[in-house]
């Protein structure tokens, strides 16, 4: 470590006491959250570096297996003590790293060595400058290293934010503007889950694990029963488990890395594989949260699914946002984090999150059922401001955010199934006929089909007579737009008119789904491949 001269180290020791004081100041929950997420990704990056060598052929996907520990109530205190110690050590290293800024520029491995030299006494290094033993004695080496990794991630993130803030301040001052933005502050409290490196656990079976825990006075091996999802056994690599608190209970979260052969890229799939199935998804703010269609590269339409639940989630939000608005009117408080409303916000967030996961899962399942290897969405564009009451505006904004989340979740869920996700330009996907490309008329049921009413559920094409559901038409256009991006040598002829056989089925539930088979195109490929064996009922398309 050339950078760490003796002088630097002495200076560092002096600075670190300032850092300690800084740490004790306030930190917004938002900033803390940023620090957390950055640090965990840093750990993941480290663990995956070996597989990057074979990047060309192999691809990987990481998921987390969550399992409950069935421990005696008294052992809960030991887990809590272990976590507290982990955070104490991590907070210490955060300060050491910030007091020795050149360390942050080093590679993770070099930074680890440098930090240990500064803090850990060995025969060669009997008097470290900032000894860890001043904080805690007898920390196992691998426990210390896990805490150092957590601290490094947070320190790097904090330092980056601080540098950016300084840059913005400098820019503002040189332009003669006043700069009122407050600087980022280090974490006020540490609440990370302890990562248990090899050596901190052993004898892991499907139903139990032996963990090394800090009881508050000594380290002790503790055998704990495990329930929950089984760990996969095929071709996967287990990461280091994390000890995670969920309310009164303690869980182990184990990252699992699955390796597989990298799927061919989209261009290859579209231009060289005639058989490629594409799943196109139109995300909406209305009842049909997602409308998915499967089509081949040649343009045959194989299946459609409506994933519903938009009205239920909107109704739920409206009710809670209304209550928040009334509370605010009563107390005169506008702040979003106001304690009275915190529980209501939490409920809204939890439900939004749940629906986004459900919808994205259904999208990916549908794609899988039909052998689709590409998932295509539109770019989301920007949220246009709406008029109306607080609950209405808030609802719309959250519905819009949820579209983004459905896309993100679907993307990673799809990747786990070797399905590639992409996006296309959203321009006019709803206005143009998916069969012939003419401008469509969009109208509500019971109205005369003329003009274009944005958001209306039905479309009619005056040129070819295509009639159908507007969101389904948009979904098909999205798929076609992706195919059009890669013009192939032999384009198929204009597709034949569809038969009017749109059949849909509904099922109940928070997020119902419908499967509609329609617009078969007898000219190319056997059209009916959708595997839904439920009874089909004839249903009119939904109104928004």
Please, what is the minimum distance in Å from the beta carbon of residue 366 to Zn ion?
A: 25
Contact window for Zn ion (CB under 5 A) among 131-139, 401-409, 458-466, 472-480: 458-466
Q: Does 336 bind Zn ion (CB under 5 A)?
A: no
Please, what is the minimum distance in Å from the beta carbon of residue 474 to Zn ion?
A: 14
Please, what is the minimum distance in Å from the beta carbon of residue 438 to Zn ion?
A: 5
Angle among Cα 23, 27, 31 to the nearest 5 degrees reads 115
DSSP string, 428-440: TTTTB-TTT-PBP
Please, what is the minimum distance in Å from the beta carbon of residue 486 to Zn ion?
A: 23
Please, what is the minimum distance in Å from the beta carbon of residue 296 to Zn ion?
A: 20
Which residues in the 438-457 window bind Zn ion by CB under 5 A? Answer: 438
Q: From its phi and psi, is residue 211 left (phi > 0), alpha (psi between -120 and 50) or beta?
A: beta
Please, what is the minimum distance in Å from the beta carbon of residue 480 to Zn ion?
A: 12
Other Cβ atoms less than 10 A from the Cβ of 168: the count is: 12
Torsion sign over Cα 453, 458, 459, 464: negative
Please, what is the minimum distance in Å from the beta carbon of residue 440 to Zn ion?
A: 7
With respect to Zn ion, which residue has the nearer C-beta, 394 or 479?
Answer: 479
Calculate the alpha carbon distances from 274 to 1, 250, 423, 435, 517 in Å. Answer: 57, 50, 21, 20, 21
Q: Does 463 bind Zn ion (CB under 5 A)?
A: yes
Q: Which of 148, 406, 410, 466 forms a contact with Zn ion (CB under 5 A)? A: 466
Contacts with 314 (C-beta within 8 Å, 6 or more apart), sequence order: 395, 399
With respect to Zn ion, which residue has the nearer C-beta, 211 or 433?
Answer: 433
Which residues in the 57-76 window bind Zn ion by CB under 5 A? Answer: none
With respect to Zn ion, which residue has the nearer C-beta, 173 or 463?
Answer: 463
Calculate the alpha carbon distances from 506 to 3, 141, 283, 515 in Å. Answer: 66, 57, 18, 8
Contact window for Zn ion (CB under 5 A) among 248-256, 408-416, 462-470, 517-525: 462-470
Query: Per residue, what are the HEC states of 258-298?
Result: EEEECCCCHHHHHHHCCCCEEEEEEECCCCCCEEEEEEECC
Please, what is the minimum distance in Å from the beta carbon of residue 521 to Zn ion?
A: 13
With respect to Zn ion, which residue has the nearer C-beta, 322 or 437?
Answer: 437
Contact window for Zn ion (CB under 5 A) among 1-9, 177-185, 395-403, 461-469: 461-469
Please, what is the minimum distance in Å from the beta carbon of residue 39 to Zn ion?
A: 53
Could you tell me which of 34, 44, 244, 241 has the C-alpha nearest to residue 156? 34
With respect to Zn ion, which residue has the nearer C-beta, 289 or 466?
Answer: 466
Long-range contacts of 206-210 (CB under 8 A, 24+ apart): 206/230, 206/231, 209/69, 209/241, 209/252
Please, what is the minimum distance in Å from the beta carbon of residue 176 to Zn ion?
A: 58
Which residues in the 231-270 window bind Zn ion by CB under 5 A? Answer: none
Helix (H) or strand (E) segment spanning residue 486:
none
With respect to Zn ion, which residue has the nearer C-beta, 127 or 493?
Answer: 493
With respect to Zn ion, which residue has the nearer C-beta, 288 or 435?
Answer: 435
With respect to Zn ion, which residue has the nearer C-beta, 240 or 473?
Answer: 473
Please, what is the minimum distance in Å from the beta carbon of residue 434 to Zn ion?
A: 8
Contact window for Zn ion (CB under 5 A) among 83-91, 459-467, 469-477, 501-509: 459-467
With respect to Zn ion, which residue has the nearer C-beta, 146 or 433?
Answer: 433
Q: Identify the three-state secondary structure at position 363.
A: helix
With respect to Zn ion, which residue has the nearer C-beta, 270 or 466?
Answer: 466
Strand-strand pairing, 290-296 and 301-307: antiparallel
Could you tell me which of 362, 100, 80 has the C-alpha nearest to residue 215? 80
Per rule CB under 5 A, count of chain residues that contact Zn ion? 8
Q: How far apart, in Å, do the first and last CA atoms of the chain sit?
A: 65
Please, what is the minimum distance in Å from the beta carbon of residue 303 to Zn ion?
A: 21
Calculate the alpha carbon distances from 229 to 53, 66, 251, 446 in Å. Answer: 31, 7, 12, 50
With respect to Zn ion, which residue has the nearer C-beta, 410 or 458?
Answer: 458
Burial of residue 217 (number of CB atoms within 10 Å: 0-12, 13-18, 19+): exposed
Cα dihedral value 234, 235, 240, 245, nearest 10: -40
Q: Which of 35, 130, 414, 461 forms a contact with Zn ion (CB under 5 A)? A: 461
Angle among Cα 343, 83, 151 to the nearest 5 degrees reads 95
With respect to Zn ion, which residue has the nearer C-beta, 317 or 435?
Answer: 435
Please, what is the minimum distance in Å from the beta carbon of residue 477 to Zn ion?
A: 11
Q: Does 476 bind Zn ion (CB under 5 A)?
A: no
Q: Does 483 bind Zn ion (CB under 5 A)?
A: no
Contact window for Zn ion (CB under 5 A) among 320-328, 355-363, 466-474, 519-527: 466-474
Q: Does 464 bind Zn ion (CB under 5 A)?
A: yes
Cα(146)–Cα(112) distance, integer angstroms: 10
Q: Does 301 bind Zn ion (CB under 5 A)?
A: no
Which residues in the 411-440 window bind Zn ion by CB under 5 A? Answer: 433, 435-436, 438
Which residues in the 27-46 window bind Zn ion by CB under 5 A? Answer: none
Cα(241)–Cα(192) distance, integer angstroms: 13
Strand-strand pairing, 513-516 and 301-307: antiparallel
Contacts with 122 (C-beta within 8 Å, 6 or more apart), sequence order: none
Site residues (vs Zn ion, CB under 5 A): 433, 435-436, 438, 461, 463-464, 466
């Amino acid at each position: 470590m050339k950078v760490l001269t003796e002088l630097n180290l002495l200076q560092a020791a002096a600075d670190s006491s300032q850092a300690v004081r800084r740490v004790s100041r306030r930190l917004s929950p938002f900033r803390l959250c940023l620090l957390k997420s950055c640090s965990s990704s840093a750990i993941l990056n480290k663990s995956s570096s070996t597989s990057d060598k074979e990047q060309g052929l192999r691809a990987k996907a990481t998921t987390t297996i969550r399992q409950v520990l069935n421990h005696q109530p008294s052992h809960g205190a030991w887990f809590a003590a272990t976590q507290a110690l982990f955070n104490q050590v991590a907070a210490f290293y955060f300060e050491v790293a910030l007091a020795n800024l050149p360390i942050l520029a080093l590679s993770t491995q070099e930074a680890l060595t440098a930090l240990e030299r500064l803090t850990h006494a060995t025969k060669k290094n009997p008097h470290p400058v900032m000894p860890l033993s001043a904080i805690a004695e007898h920390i196992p080496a691998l426990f210390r290293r896990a805490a150092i990794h957590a601290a490094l991630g947070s320190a790097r993130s904090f330092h980056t934010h601080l540098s950016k803030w300084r840059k913005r301040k400098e820019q503002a001052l040189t332009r003669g503007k006043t700069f009122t933005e407050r600087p980022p502050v280090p974490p006020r409290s540490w609440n990370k889950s302890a990562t248990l490196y090899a050596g901190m656990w052993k004898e892991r079976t499907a139903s139990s694990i032996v963990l090394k825990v800090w009881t508050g006075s000594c380290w002790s091996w503790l055998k704990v029963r495990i329930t929950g999802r089984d760990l996969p056994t095929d071709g996967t690599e287990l990461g280091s488990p994390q000890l995670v608190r969920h309310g009164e209970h303690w869980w182990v979260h184990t990252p699992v890395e699955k390796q597989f052969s990298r799927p061919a890229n989209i261009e290859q799939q579209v231009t060289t594989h005639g058989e490629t199935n594409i799943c196109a998804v139109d995300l909406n703010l209305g009842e049909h949260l997602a409308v998915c269609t499967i089509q081949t590269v040649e343009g045959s339409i194989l299946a459609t699914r409506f994933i519903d639940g938009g009205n239920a989630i909107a109704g739920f939000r409206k009710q809670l946002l209304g209550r928040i608005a009334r509370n605010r009117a009563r107390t005169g408080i506008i702040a979003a984090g106001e304690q009275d409303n915190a529980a209501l916000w939490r409920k809204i967030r939890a439900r939004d999150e749940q629906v986004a996961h459900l919808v994205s899962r259904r999208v990916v399942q549908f794609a899988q059922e039909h052998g689709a290897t590409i998932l295509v969405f539109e770019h989301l564009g920007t949220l246009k401001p709406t008029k109306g009451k607080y609950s209405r505006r808030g609802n719309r904004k959250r519905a819009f955010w949820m579209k983004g989340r459905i896309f993100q979740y679907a993307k990673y869920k799809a990747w786990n199934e070797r399905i590639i996700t992409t996006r296309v330009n959203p321009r006019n996907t709803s206005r143009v006929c998916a069969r012939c490309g003419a401008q469509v008329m969009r109208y509500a049921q019971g109205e005369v089909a003329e003009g274009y009413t944005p958001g209306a559920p039905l479309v009619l094409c005056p040129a070819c007579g295509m009639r159908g559901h507007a969101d389904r038409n948009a979904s098909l256009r999205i798929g076609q737009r992706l195919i059009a991006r890669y013009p192939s040598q032999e384009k198929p002829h204009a597709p034949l008119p569809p038969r009017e056989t749109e059949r849909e089925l509904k099922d109940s539930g928070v997020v119902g789904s419908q499967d509609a088979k329609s617009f078969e195109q007898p000219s190319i490929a056997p059209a009916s491949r959708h595997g839904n064996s439920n009874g089909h009922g004839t249903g009119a398309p939904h109104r928004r």
